[in-house]
Chains A and B, each alone.
Chain A
C-alpha cells in the first residue's frame, strides 16, 4: 500500500479541485498525441489527427481527454486503494485495448506539463513531486493486470 503524507494528500485534492477537467484532460491528451505521435496508433477511428491544429480541434480527442481525467478522479477519491480501484481499467487496457503500458507514462508527463502551465508558480517542486508520485501510482496500477 502506498503511504501518503498529509501534504501529498492535500496537494492532490487541491490540484484536482482547481483544474478544469474539460480543459486539462483534452489539453493533456492532445499534447500526448502531438509530442509522442506513435500514441496515435490506438486512435485509428478518431478521424483527422494529421497535425497539431487538427488534433486540438478534434471533438473525439476532447471527449476522450475528459474521459481520461474523470478516470483519474477515481484515484483522487480512493487514494488509499488506487491499485484495486483500477483493477478493471487495467484489465480493459490490457485485454481489450492492448495499450503498451509505457504509454501511460507518456500521458502522465503531458498531464504534468499541462497542470504546470495551469498552476504556474504554485506548481512548486514539492507540488510537482506529490503530483508525479500520484501519477506514478496510477500508472503502476494500470499496468498491474497485464500478463
Chain B
C-alpha cells in the first residue's frame, strides 16, 4: 500500500511543481483546519500563547510542515532514509502520535481540493494520498 509506483512519483512531482508556489498558504490552511476540525490536535500546541487557527504560530507551523513535504518530494525515491532525521525528531522530541499524521494528511488533501479543484483530479488524489501515507510511515519509522 505504501510502494509508490513510477506513475505515482511522476504525478506527485508534477502536481507539486504546480502548487509549491502556494505552499505557505496550503500549510497554513491545512494546520488551521486541523485545529478546528480535530480539536484534540491542539494538545500538541499548549505552548502556543495563541492557539487560534490563524495565529502567527499556526501559520508558521503550516509553513514548516509544507517545507517538510516539499523536501519529501525531492527524496521520494527513499523516504525512509531521506526523512531519517525528521523521524528522530518526531519520535524522541515531539512524540506526536502517528494517528495525527493521517489527520493532517487528510486536511492537506482537503486544502488541495479547495485551492486547486481542477488539478486535484482523482488520479492526482490517489497518488498524493499514497505519498502522504508513505511520508507518514517514514516519519514514524524511529518510534519503536
Contacts and interface: CB of A to CB of B under 8 A. Distances in A.
B121 A52 contact: yes
A121 interface: yes
A118 to B, nearest CB: 8
> Which of B117, B122, B126 has the most CB atoms of chain A within a 10 A radius of its CB?
B122
Interface stretch (A41-49, A63-71, A86-94, A106-114): A106-114
A145 interface: no
A125 B32 contact: yes
A128 B36 contact: yes
A117 B120 CA distance: 9
A144 interface: no
Interface stretch (B15-23, B74-82, B107-115): B107-115
Nearest to B106: A109
Contacts of B35: 125
B53 A125 contact: yes
Contacts of B36: 125-126, 128-129
Interface in B35-55: 35-37, 53
B122 A31 contact: yes
The size bracket of the interface on A is 20 to 34
A117 B106 contact: no
A85 interface: no
15 contacts: A30-B122, A31-B122, A31-B125, A35-B129, A52-B123, A113-B110, A114-B113, A116-B113, A118-B117, A120-B114, A120-B117, A125-B36, A125-B37, A129-B36, A132-B37
A146 interface: no
Interface in A8-58: 30-31, 34-35, 52, 55-56
Given A109-B106, A125-B37, A125-B53, A117 B125 contact: no
A123 interface: yes
B125 A34 contact: yes
B122 A34 contact: yes
B59 interface: no
Contact of A34 (B33, B106, B109, B123): B123
B122 A112 contact: no
A128 B110 contact: yes
Nearest to B123: A52
B109 to A, nearest CB: 6
Interface in B92-134: 106, 109-110, 113-114, 117, 120-123, 125-126, 129
What 10 A-B pairs are tightest by C-beta distance, nearest first?
A125-B36, A117-B117, A34-B122, A116-B113, A117-B113, A125-B33, A129-B37, A35-B126, A31-B122, A113-B113
A56 B36 CA distance: 33
A77 B4 CA distance: 42
